[in-house]
A and B are shown apart, each in its own frame.
Chain A
């Protein structure tokens, strides 16, 4: 099955812009989805598809994709954005069993 690679940790100054990336072959066939997980909480979907936000997700969160790399951008990071972020996609084989998560990126807001 495919793998998705994320940087383990990223930091951003309060109010600045940060990009979190996710690389993998499956991203040539499927859009990545992105999840925010704060300590002690379940993951929350923040971006899906080409660049869609579920209801309630601030518009400072956006997504993009190029080739085998997907990116989650937070424009004007806030203290409450400090969390772990995971990307996810389905393997291009189309098998439901071949779903994969990235290893996660810990975002620190300075």
Chain B
């Protein structure tokens, strides 16, 4: 069974750093991209970026380039999303998801349960 299991909720202060994780299981972790999606309180889904754990090829949405860092450790089948200096506006739910690309089809077939990040002084 394919599963993406994310790390637990975090409460941080502005300016602090943070790294959240997404552990894949039940499939070949190095053969699929893993993406990150933000959902701010009461808002819609926003695409952040993606990584291919097989070779660490990483792409970012222009909206998030330079704001976050996506990485992966294939030895433990885990992808990461990190911030060097959090802002209150980073308060959101963050989801990892596995994209599938086949011809003209592009979809996210599995999602993590989400990690709630709260940034408040």
Residues of A within 8 A of B (CB): 1, 29-31, 33, 35, 37, 42-45, 48-49, 54, 84, 86, 88-90, 95-104
Lowest 10 CB-CB distances: which A-B pairs, in order?
A33-B107, A48-B107, A90-B106, A97-B59, A96-B59, A101-B45, A104-B44, A49-B105, A99-B47, A42-B111
Q: How far is the CA of A89 from the CA of B35 in the complex (A)?
A: 14
Bitwise interface map of B from 35 to 64 toward A, beta carbon under 8 Å scored 1, else 0:
101000000111101100000000111100
CB proximity of B113 to chain A, nearest CB, Å = 6
Chain A residues whose CB sits within 8 angstroms of the CB of B100 once the complex forms: 48
Task: Tally B residues with Cβ within 8 Å of A.
Answer: 29
Bitwise interface map of B from 94 to 113 toward A, beta carbon under 8 Å scored 1, else 0:
01010111101111110111
A-B contact pairs, 22 of them (CB 8 A): A1-B61, A30-B104, A31-B104, A35-B45, A43-B97, A45-B107, A45-B108, A45-B111, A49-B104, A49-B105, A86-B45, A88-B106, A89-B106, A90-B106, A95-B59, A96-B99, A97-B49, A97-B61, A99-B99, A101-B44, A101-B46, A101-B47
